[in-house]
Structure 1
Amino acid sequence: MESTGRPREDILVVSTSNRGEKITRPLSSVGVETSYFQIEKMSDVPELYQTIQNHKPEVVIIDSFSFGGASVALSCLVSSTPYVIRVRGDPVREHIGWVRTHIKNREFLRALKQFPRYIGTKLTFLLTNNYIFVSDYLKDRYDVNGDRSVVINTPCFMLDEASDGAGGHLNLNEDVKDHVVLAVMNMNYPAKVAGLQDALDPISTVLESRGDTTMLIAGDGPYYEEITEQCENLEGDIRTLGYVSNIEALFERADVFVHFSYLDGYPSTILEAYASKTAVLANDAVGMSEQIVDGKTGYLVDLDESAEITDRLNILLRTPEKREEFAKAGYERVHKINTTEAIGEKFHSYLSRIRG
């Protein structure tokens, strides 16, 4: 358990990961300080309850489901403390996806372990009235209506950080080609990885035919080896890099950023591409459909249409004017919608309604 911030603030942020900063930093940017409690294990739950009881926050925000979300919901209900769930992903689909994957791999014990988490997630939804969704897609997906829920997008922290110009100092082989196609992937979720896997064949076709382009895939997780093996069996220069800490340098080097996924509520990597003035190509699904204005800030394609993927990628690679047009529009869009301060104002406005 990690607890930071002044102990008697009105707003308590609870998270099971370090992503609580997506809440605390925007609020801090508009002058609203918060307390923070990170749940790392089940044994932290009694301390969480005592924290809520002793500090008596006006509102609690939780950005996790499963046992973390259920713990906060029950603790707040017992203490009559208003609370809000921030829905940043699709937890039900995540659980179901893991169960199917484990059963497919004959990992039946691991599949069984998903059921308590699934029940915790469903219990959290059942007990909760107040929601912050990071996208309209997620709000529509869970069909939560009324004035107690709101859509507040994810902030793009890359806008807050000055570039160090490290794009020319990447730890890559000298034979990286003239053009670079970049993908940054969370390889922990089968439905996210499946989108990239479905797109690799048509991307490979483009790379092979052009001969002047390298594809870089950054990211790590249980599916890294599977992605790497697939890439090794394809034509064209495709390289898997694993985890990369200096992700800004990769965006600076890229001509086109691609993101293909079947499970993304509102991917931060699209925002980072916009902030880096990198042209974007993604599939027309889940959260990407509302992040990208097709033909203006990037291209949206159907993953079932290989010819469409190759056509749009070829256009971007051979037309610097189109890349610049998309880059400029995306940069303007992320500055309009996803600054830390803009998100902080929306958080503050909504929480004022909950507390009032």
Structure 2
Amino acid sequence: MKLLITGDKTRFYHLEGFMNALQKNGIKCKLIYDIEYSNKFFDINIKNRLGKQKKLKKLLDEFGPDVVLLDRLSGIATEITKAGIPFFILLRGNIWEELKWAKETIYTSPQKRLSFLKKQRFIKTCFNNASVILPISKYLENVVRKNIPEKNIELFSADGRDPSEWNQVSGMNLKHPCVGLLQGMNIWGKTRELLILTKVMKELPGVTFYFAGDGFYKDKIIPKLKNFKNFVWLGNLEYPIEVKKFLSEIDVYLLLSGMEGLGQTIIEAFLMEKPVIATNIGGIPELIEDGKTGFLIEAGNHDDLIKKINQVFDQPVVASNMGSKGKETMQENFNWDSIAKKLVLILNRNVQ
């Protein structure tokens, strides 16, 4: 069977590992950057659009895929549909909730609202034409079944890693005790949860909070957090080497989020044997066994977060055991070979 995988270049590091595991399991694969063959959503430049269509047709003719896996929604879905090739959509987030927040916070002018409606229609068309939707968590599976119950839906936890690559790396000197956060700031409904740190840092002046990440809403978050002497913003870290150095050095990993499909940084933090504290939201509880591999806190509950951070620092042996148990779980459930085998079963069930 031949599988064409399309996605964003920022995810190629992981998609290449996934592709290699699939090929070891008998699936011939090719990975492409979707924007080089079709614009993400719309393209009013006819010459540019026709050039990309021609390039994609040549690729499809030469490679001859039996099925296409979309790692994200893009205009390539339209061309794949025209070519009569079945495609699967890998769903990493609650796109309906993301659209809701985008409408309320970004697409506010009449012109932007028109763009929003076009994007909304495009996404609906993609889902309608897809052969299978692959949500990466049970949480997302329930969301998809609620919004498009008529579709063929298969749960597929796709956020794999090669455990052998995630080992302690020196090179980043941080002040201890410390808490590390690593996340983007592009969706307000997801990002605003970071603001509870203002109350937490006030109560824990002896703990340094290191935040790595950037995004659309940084100006609404970072200035408020910088008011505290025990806050350090590192900006974006080079992936994966600087991220590994960061996760190696922190004492505990913290993920504060208002919405989360699964939480891939949790997987990486566990592989580095760090205890994890995270918001009890979305797919996060599917990764953390509360009290055993980490702690779950309710959104907005800064008092409980302070309590859990103190608990981690007051009980270092317990915290170390949490990290070790977390690593064991991730090694077993999120290695590429295991994930590739699951996709092979899905392909065999759904591709003639």
* TM-score of Structure 1 vs Structure 2, range by shorter chain: 0.7 to 0.9
Percent identity over paired residues: 21
Which residue number corresponds to residue 68 of structure 2?
A: 60
Q: What's the offset of the Cα at 1:310?
A: 1.3
The 5 A counterparts of 1:283-302 are 283-302=279-298
Higher deviation after alignment, 310-319 or 110-119: 110-119
Assess, with a 3 A threshold, how the Cα gap between structure 1 residues 61 and 300 changes in structure 2: closer, same or farther: same
Q: CA deviation at 1:305?
A: 2.4
Structure 1 residue identity aligned to 2:82: S
Deviation at 1:53, TM superposition (A): 5.0
Deviation at 1:294, TM superposition (A): 1.0
Greater shift in the superposed pair: 113-122 or 144-153 = 144-153
CA distance in 2, matches of 1:108, 1:322: 54
Give the Å deviation of 1:154.
2.9
Distance in structure 2 (CA, Å) of the matches to 1:95 and 1:316:
37
- Structure 2 CA distance, aligned partners of 1:118 and 1:145? 18
- Alignment partner for residue 222 of structure 2, among 228, 243, 247? 228
User: Aligned pair in 2 of structure 1 residues 142, 66: CA closer, same or farther (>3 Å)?
Assistant: same
Q: Tell me, yes or no, if the aligned pair for 2:7 and 2:70 is still in contact at 8 Å.
A: yes
Deviates more, 1:308-317 or 1:112-121: 112-121
SS in 1 for 2:259: coil
CA contact (8 A) 2:7 2:32 kept: yes
Letter in 2 for 1:125: F
Alignment partner of 1:243 is 2:236: yes
Deviates more, 1:327-336 or 1:218-227: 218-227
SS in 1 for 2:75: helix
Structure 1 residue 10: Cα displacement: 1.4
| Residue in 2 that maps onto 1:125 | 127
Tell me whether 1:75 sits opposite 2:82 in the alignment.
Answer: yes
- Name stretches of at least 5 consecutive residues in structure 1 with no aligned partner: 1-8
User: Which deviates more, 268-277 or 287-296?
Assistant: 287-296
Unaligned runs of 5+ in 2: 44-48
Query: 167, 190, 193: which is aligned to 1:192?
Result: 190
**What's the CA shift for 1:148?**
3.9
Following TM superposition, by how much is the alpha carbon of 1:45 offset from its aligned partner in structure 2, in angstroms? 4.0
Within the candidate set 84, 90, 103, 1:86 is matched to 90
SS of aligned partner of 1:157: coil
Equivalenced residue count is 331
Q: Aligned pair in 2 of structure 1 residues 215, 276: CA closer, same or farther (>3 Å)?
A: same
- Could you say what secondary structure the match of 2:209 adopts? strand
The 5 A counterparts of 1:125-204 are: 125-143=127-145, 148-157=152-161, 159-161=163-165, 163=167, 165-166=169-170, 169-170=171-172, 176-197=174-195, 199-204=196-201
Contact 1:66 1:120 in 2 (8 A): no
Structure 1 residue 347 corresponds to structure 2 residue 343: yes
TM-score by length of 2: 0.85
The Cα shift of 1:100 comes to: 1.1
Q: Which residue of 1 aligns with 2:6?
A: 14
CA RMSD of aligned residues (A): 2.4
Q: Deviations over 1:151-198 (max 9, x none)?
A: 1213343524153632xx22x6xxx4321100001122222211222x
Q: Distance in 2 between matches of 1:46 and 1:179?
A: 56
* Native 8 Å contact 1:37 1:48 kept in 2: no
Corresponding residue of 2:202:
205
Q: Are 2:266 and 1:259 aligned?
A: no
Partners in 1 of 2:112 and 2:20 — Cα distance? 35
TM-score, normalised to structure 1, is 0.84
- 1:33 is the counterpart of 2:40: no
Conservation of the 8 A alpha-carbon contact between 1:91 and 1:121 = no
Map of 2:19 onto structure 1: 24
Distance 1:310 1:249, change over 3 A: same
1:5 is matched with: none
Show the counterpart of 2:46: none
Aligned to 2:89, the other structure's residue is in SS state strand
8 Å Cα contact 1:260/1:283 also seen in 2:
yes
SS at match of 1:187: coil
Aligned partner letter, 2:236: Y
CA distance in 1, matches of 2:70, 2:344: 15
Counterpart position of 2:311: 315
Distance change in 2, residues 1:348/1:118 (3 Å): same
Per the TM alignment, residue 278 of structure 1 is displaced from its structure 2 partner at its CA by 0.5
What SS is found at the alignment partner of 2:291?
A: coil
Q: 332, 338, 354: which one pairs with 2:334?
A: 338
Contact 1:297 1:330 in 2 (8 A): yes
Given that 1:271 and 1:334 are in contact with CA atoms closer than 8 Å, whether structure 2 keeps it comes out as yes
Residues 75 and 25 of structure 1, relative CA distance in 2, 3 Å threshold: farther
